[in-house]
């Protein structure tokens, strides 16, 4: 009898624990789908009208980012990036910490056709121009990356230091 009671208590405990685990999973899945990329450890999306700097960027099939201005970005700067895909294949322009870009890269390997509407990343078709405005909130290392499979590995990333 005592043994039986114990098992029931154990069962209740396990059930409650799994329910909590599921709830936590749901919560993180929800975050990922809706706004996990919107804020970041290195800053957040901003409105183009608030920008104090404009930087033109070309995305090249040679797996490079070509920035047309000096990347002299300071803490608090709001930068309007005007990005053009000069290549013949799709490219991505993504801003994040190195850790965030690594996570993004892993996600892209699982879902290569992921299209982004999430604040820190834009996907551009050949010859397309799009904008992304970002507020850099910390003195930190920031990584610009294209996480389309094989592009990052081929060198399509660039790190800068926010002063």
Binding site for Cu ion (CB under 5 A): 91, 146, 148, 151, 156
Pick the closer one to Cu ion by CB: 25 or 131. 131
* Residue closer to Cu ion, measured from CB, 33 or 88: 88
Q: Residue 150: how many CA atoms within 13 Å on its side-chain side? A: 4
> Which residues neighbour 29 within 8 Å (Cβ) at sequence distance 6 or greater?
none
Q: How far is the CB of 126 from Cu ion (least distance, A)?
A: 11
Q: Closest distance between Cu ion and the C-beta of residue 39, in Å?
A: 24
Q: Locate tokens 């070309």: which residue?
A: 58
Nearer to Cu ion, 148 or 162 (CB): 148
Give the shortest CB-146-to-Cu ion separation in angstroms.
3
**Of 85 and 97, CB closest to Cu ion:** 85
Distance, C-alpha 47 to centroid of its chain: 18
CA dist list (Å): 96 to 16, 18, 143:
37, 33, 5
CA–CA dist 23, 30 (Å, integer):
10
Minimum CB–partner distance for residue 90 and Cu ion (Å):
7
């Amino acid at each position: 009898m005592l043994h039986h009671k114990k098992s029931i208590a154990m069962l209740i405990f396990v059930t409650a624990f799994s329910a909590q685990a599921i709830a936590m999973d749901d919560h993180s899945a929800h975050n990922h789908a809706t706004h996990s990329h919107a804020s970041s450890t290195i800053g957040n999306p901003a409105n183009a009208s608030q920008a104090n700097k404009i930087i033109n960027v070309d995305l090249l099939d040679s797996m490079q980012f070509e920035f047309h201005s000096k990347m002299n970005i300071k803490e608090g700067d709001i930068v309007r990036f005007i990005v053009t895909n000069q290549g013949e294949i799709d490219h991505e322009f993504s801003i994040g910490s190195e850790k965030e870009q690594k996570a993004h890269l892993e996600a892209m390997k699982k879902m290569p056709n992921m299209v982004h509407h999430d604040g820190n990343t834009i996907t551009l078709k050949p010859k397309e121009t799009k904008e992304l405005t970002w507020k850099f909130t910390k003195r930190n290392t920031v990584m610009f990356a294209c996480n389309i499979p094989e592009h990052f590995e081929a060198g399509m990333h660039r790190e800068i230091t926010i002063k």
